[in-house]
A = this chain, B = another copy of it.
């Protein structure tokens, strides 16, 4: 039995950060990991998916500019793209990450963790050895999620791809059916269609629902241009796999046959086999936490990343991890806790200021509330849209640049609630919006944040001009 100040279950990017911050704060910490240290993001999500997408994106950008276009006389080198993706995942070896963990002064136990009681964890290694761990101060669950397989007859038996198979496949399937209309479905449709697969996207819903409507509309158009067969608001009734591939019967009476089927219809927490029942929680549940990432009803249990269901994004999980690691250390050492909104020890940004980039073509970059969310939340809102292609910097960036920017204003406070950019290469434009919203920078001050000319960011000026300058002409006489 080994004792640590902190036990972190799950050594993905999020768990690593919790342990790292706690160790920097003076605690001893151990990471428990059943699979690869570095987790989903490093091996089966963000990194490999963006690696699959980036080469096509760079090539499209060059093709969009006269003078450069003429030099692109060859095709995307599919093998080189897959090899580059393999390099980013270190061919699914976690040796480098293990080195990092050691260097950070964190212990590592490999195996499957289960609670045996409060602060007590039993780790079963691959070879069956059992390690008993006890936490002096805290346990943090950072186990992430698995794809949720919807209850469609035959689907589970058809050996479907999840996000892991979709990001790690070593060959391009001749054809790929994708079930789902969210970020993973949209990105993987873009990636595999660009790499030459014949892709059909089937979604019960629309595309990218929950974002501004023009996001899904633009991505749908581009997917169709890429040759993707897009079937929205379409139910899947039955799936069967035969020698010819996967046969998918739709609610419309039509059917689709593909080499593989990817299920991208949502995520489910990896809490089914954690021994949660020994501490009074229900296996399979999401773990509800407060803003310090402490699980409700516990003073020693924390949950960070996807498993707490606050914001299923790596960067947001790492953000939670920083707060959690710091607050665990502060509480353990009896130091002051900064848990007012926007304090050091809280993940305030999770509530209404979460940034997200979808690496489709066009890219979708959004932060904060959509117009609809803001209205439903009761804000006195005003919505301003601007066509990014009208900006001089955009027209230089790409011929016939097509994109849309929206800002949602809280009229009562004169600050931004949400910003969405849809267009080629908008991903790096998002941080400005995130800082404006999180920083609660008044619109009146944003007029002084001059965008450099001619960049695409001049859309900020255009949005402000479309909004109008409060006080410029409407002031009462002196």
Q: Is A226 an interface residue (CB 8 A)?
A: no
**A396 engages B88 (CB within 8 Å):** yes
Q: Are B439's CB and A436's CB within 8 A?
A: yes
Which of A254-262, A263-271, A422-430 is near enough to bind chain B?
Answer: A422-430
* A95 CB–B CB distance under 8 Å: no
B473–A329 CB distance below 8 A: yes
> How long is the Cα–Cα vector from A356 to B451 in the complex, in angstroms?
9
Q: Which of A72-80, A110-118, A204-212, A296-304 contacts B (4 or more CB under 8 A)?
A: A72-80
CB distance from A430 to the nearest CB of B (A): 6
Identify the stretch in A51-59, A150-158, A281-289 within 8 Å (CB) of chain B at 4 or more residues. A51-59
Asked if A65 is at the interface of the complex by the 8 Å CB criterion, the answer is yes
Residues of A at the B interface (CB closer than 8 Å) are 21, 24-26, 41, 46-47, 50-51, 54-56, 58-59, 61-62, 64-78, 80-81, 83-84, 88, 313-316, 318-319, 322, 326, 329-330, 333-338, 342, 344, 348-349, 353-357, 365, 392-393, 395-397, 399, 425, 427-432, 434-436, 438-439, 441, 444-458, 460-461, 469, 471-473, 475-478
Alpha-carbon gap, A429 to B26, bound state (A): 35
Given A64-B58, A453-B318, also A24-B473 (CB < 8 A): yes
Say how many copies of this protein the assembly contains.
2
Whether A457 pairs with B430 at a CB distance below 8 angstroms is yes
List the B residue with the shortest CB-CB distance to A64.
B58
Q: Cβ of B76 and Cβ of A71 under 8 Å apart?
A: yes
* Beta-carbon nearest neighbor of A316 in chain B: B450
Given known contacts A314-B453, A451-B355, A80 and B76 CB-to-CB distance under 8 angstroms:
no
- Some 24 contacts from A to B, beta carbons below 8 A apart, are A50-B454, A55-B68, A58-B62, A62-B62, A67-B80, A68-B77, A70-B77, A71-B74, A71-B75, A71-B77, A313-B453, A315-B453, A319-B448, A326-B473, A330-B473, A333-B477, A335-B477, A348-B448, A349-B448, A349-B450, A431-B449, A432-B435, A434-B451, A439-B446
